[in-house]
Amino acid sequence: NAGVTQTPKFQVLKTGQSMTLQCAQDMNHEYMSWYRQDPGMGLRLIHYSVGAGITDQGEVPNGYNVSRSTTEDFPLRLLSAAPSQTSVYFCASRRQTAYEQYFGPGTRLTVT
Amino acid sequence: QQQVKQSPQSLIVQKGGIPIINCAYENTAFDYFPWYQQFPGKGPALLIAIRPDVSEKKEGRFTISFNKSAKQFSLHIMDSQPGDSATYFCAASGAETSGSRLTFGEGTQLTVNP
């Protein structure tokens, strides 16, 4: 199993540009989520999904959109990037009946 | 509102020392308390976790101590090694926090000197 994979690993955007961060998992996990990691702030939940077709907001959802059309994929969209979105983004997944989350390797995003 | 507070922010110990990282939580509905370990350039990985029905859990050199009445839990690393140098995050979750709602502490950067 590849586990949770994320692409790209690094990305630089200009303010106002849009992009999609990709996340995929091959463990057939129902739950998937996106976090952002900023120095001194831990990991903060952006959006999450409890299954295909179902998404919900986390702690810091503004400026981000998600969709879940398949069990495997959970892309995160930035519609109009802002410098405040400079961060490291992690995707995670878990089984419905378990708390343990598996994290991807992260995407480091810089918005200039 | 930060529901899980972690301290210290950074910690330096000598090889063989016992670093201790502390976390405090507010939500009494939390019933799962994991610790994650993160190496530079990598995603967090689950290290050890505890439920509130026990006061201590050991896995190898890593121990969680849990104090339900004080709403605090801590990570102890016995006989620490340079390879333990990483960032450690505590977290908490509960049945009422639907989906993947782990609430994380701010993180502790641990350095173990040889």
**A-B Cβ pairs (cutoff 8 Å, strict):** 65
Measure CB to CB from residue A33 to each of B6, B36, B100 and give the nearest one: B100
Whether B15 contacts chain A with CB within 8 A: no
- Encode pLDDT of B31-59 as tens digits: 899 999 999 999 999 999 999 899 999 99
Please, what is the average pLDDT of chain A?
94
Confidence of residue B96 (pLDDT cuts 50, 70, 90): low
Of A53, A48, A55, which is closest to residue A33 (Cα–Cα)?
A48
Tell me whether strands A10-13 and A107-111 are parallel, antiparallel or unpaired. parallel
B101 burial type by CB count under 10 A (0-12 exposed, 13-18 middle, 19+ buried): middle
